[in-house]
């Protein structure tokens, strides 16, 4: 992975951002400096001519599975989590527009007074016009993670790759924050990732990507140009291939 920083390896990608990535050093919510940095990175990536869809989580406000642990029925808790993803999508949309980058937030949970309802046709239209499409609401159904939503949107929109932004620079044999002996994989197959039960994405997401032969690039979102570097094969990352 040694391409020029100005030579992206893929033409159309879906970037999966966790809600936690947007909270910076805070315990919850949105950190303005972090939001601006990530928006700047997305803007720079789009400036390379890459069509970019963003699937965003909502864990900085509410995670469905955590709500279920607190006594809220899982389906209802997941619905609350979907609403949290819409808040993040609107924040990213505005941050991009402030930079002069056209963007559209689309939600799988219809709320037309707030943002555009998601449809494949609408998302493809925005991508073809050079707009960053921020896809909220997960899959629109409970019991599915936003990782699975990213894999689903990647397949629907014929994306060349799924870019999974995390807090570490790839997939490790164990949690590198807990196990100093953990080693990073340079590459894996989807089958290996599923067989090893690697927790960076859930099995359904890996399986969807495998069925549609979409590579997954796992990288750290911590650096200022993390997305553009990963797009051009720079920096550390793990690639999961068919």
Beta bridge partners of 106: 116, 135
User: Is-contact 163 231, C-beta < 8 A?
Assistant: yes
Report whether pLDDT(4) > 50. Answer: no
Integer CA distances (angstroms), 12 to 1, 48, 137, 158, 222, in order = 18, 11, 21, 8, 22
**Euclidean distance between CA atoms 203 and 71, whole angstroms:** 26
Token output for 222: 């911590």
Token output for 182: 């953990």
Mean pLDDT of the chain: 93
The percentage of the chain sitting over the pLDDT mark of 90, rounded to a whole number, equals 82
The pair phi, psi for residue 139, each rounded to 5°, is -90, -5
Instruction: Kindly report, residue by residue over 134-163, the tens digit of the pLDDT.
Output: 999 999 999 999 999 999 999 999 999 999
Per-domain boundaries in the chain: 12-241
Instruction: Kindly report, residue by residue over 219-233, the tens digit of the pLDDT.
Output: 999 988 999 999 998
Does the domain formed by 12-241 have CATH 3.40.1160.10? yes
Instruction: Kindly report, residue by residue over 24-40, the tens digit of the pLDDT.
Output: 889 999 999 999 999 99
**Euclidean distance between CA atoms 67 and 64, whole angstroms:** 5
User: Is-contact 6 137, C-beta < 8 A?
Assistant: no
């Amino acid at each position: 992975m040694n391409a020029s920083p100005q030579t992206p390896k893929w033409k159309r990608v879906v970037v999966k951002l966790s809600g936690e990535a947007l909270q910076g050093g805070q315990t919850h919510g949105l950190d303005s400096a972090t939001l601006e940095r990530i928006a700047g990175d997305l803007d720079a990536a789009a400036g390379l001519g890459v069509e970019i869809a963003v699937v965003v989580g909502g864990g900085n406000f509410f995670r469905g599975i955590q709500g279920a642990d607190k006594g809220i029925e899982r389906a209802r808790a997941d619905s609350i989590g979907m609403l949290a993803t819409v808040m993040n999508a609107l924040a990213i949309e505005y941050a991009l527009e402030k930079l002069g980058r056209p963007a559209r937030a689309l939600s799988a949970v219809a709320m037309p007074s707030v943002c555009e309802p998601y449809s494949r046709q609408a998302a493809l239209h925005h991508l073809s016009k050079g707009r960053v499409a921020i896809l909220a609401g997960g899959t629109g159904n409970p019991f599915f993670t936003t990782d699975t939503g990213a894999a689903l949107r990647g397949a629907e929109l014929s994306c060349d790759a799924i870019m999974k932004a995390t807090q570490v620079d790839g997939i490790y044999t164990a949690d590198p924050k807990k196990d100093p002996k953990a080693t990073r994989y340079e590459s894996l197959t989807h089958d290996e990732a599923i067989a090893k039960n690697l927790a960076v994405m859930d099995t359904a997401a890996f399986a969807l990507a495998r069925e549609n032969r979409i590579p997954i690039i796992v990288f750290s979102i911590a650096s200022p140009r993390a997305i553009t570097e990963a797009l051009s094969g720079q920096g550390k990352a793990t690639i999961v291939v068919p």
